[in-house]
Amino acid sequence: MSNFESENQDSSIYIDVGNSSIKIGVFQNDKWKVNSTKEVEEAIVLINKYEQPVSRIFLCSVRKELSEAFSKQVGDRTLKQVMISDIPARNLDYDTPETLGIDRYLACSGAYSIANKGVVVIDAGSACTIDYMDANGVFQGGVIMPGLKSILSIFKEAAPELPEIKVGIPANFPGKSTKESLQWGQVGFFVDGIISVINAYDEKVEDYNLYLTGGDAPVLYELLGHIGEVHPNLVLTGLREMEYTS
């Protein structure tokens, strides 16, 4: 049975095309039902299995070639690709909006719709972004750093003789084995970088809610000692907000 089967009459489907996966979501009974794939063809199959007729597809994408593939395969459905040019200038305090990934804005917008106050959003995926939207719903920019998987893959080509490690931070410092030393240098480096950015926001922003999203959000939540709230579908939430507020 598809995750999309329900009695909900909402015929909109929301698609988040990221660097490493495609998330297809419907919002039912105040919660998300989401499937994930890596292929456009499989995404279309999943959409076709949805028991309610799908007339509207809202899509955001960081990959141009996949966006184009969707536009060729959606049939007679209405496809709306949300782009940064759709965001009113008053909602962006960013010097180069033409280079801003729409997923960064939508994740913050989704979090803002939940908190109704200033938010910092950590989107932990292939890249890790840590962005701020103020209490007026204005995107203020943030930080882009390598994601956890990217950091863990650094030595696979550069130093292939080094051992693979588990994601975790050793109890003791300094590391007393090569694996512990790598854990400090990779996982600890990643976590310390994020904590440093959070501390910088704490100094700059008086009050905000912290949210974690993206594929590595649950792991990061554990590594950070359970600070913030994990919301895996903030980009989809922001995409849905665009439908109902535009």
Residue ranges of the domains in the chain?
1-81, 83-246
pLDDT of residue 77: 79
Sheet of 56-61, strands arranged across:
31-37, 22-28, 12-17, 56-61, 78-81
In angstroms and rounded to an integer, the radius of gyration of the C-alpha atoms of the chain is 19
At the topology level of CATH, where does 1-81 sit?
Nucleotidyltransferase; domain 5 (3.30.420)
pLDDT (mean) for 68-81: 84
Which of 39-53, 65-79, 87-101 has the largest mean confidence? Answer: 87-101
Q: What is the pLDDT of residues 77-118, one digit of tens each?
A: 788 999 999 999 999 999 999 999 999 999 999 999 999 999
Residue 9: is its pLDDT beyond 60? no
Kindly report the CATH class assigned to 83-246: alpha beta
Provide, for the chain, the percentages of residues in helix, strand and coil under a 3-state DSSP scheme, each rounded to the nearest 5: 40, 25, 35
Instruction: Confirm whether 1-81 and 83-246 share one CATH topology.
Output: yes
Distance CA 13, CA 236 (A): 10
Smallest CA-to-CA distance from 131 within 237, 24, 213 is with 213
Active-site residue 103, yes or no?
yes
Task: Quickly tell me which residue has 């010097």 as its tokens.
Answer: 95
Residue 176: is its pLDDT beyond 90? yes
Banded pLDDT at 198 (limits 50, 70, 90): very high
Q: Is residue 73 a contact partner of residue 97, using CB atoms and an 8 Å limit?
A: no
Coil/strand/helix, residue 29: coil
Catalytic residue among 103, 123, 131, 216: 103
pLDDT of residue 246: 60
pLDDT above 70 covers a percentage of the chain that reads 94
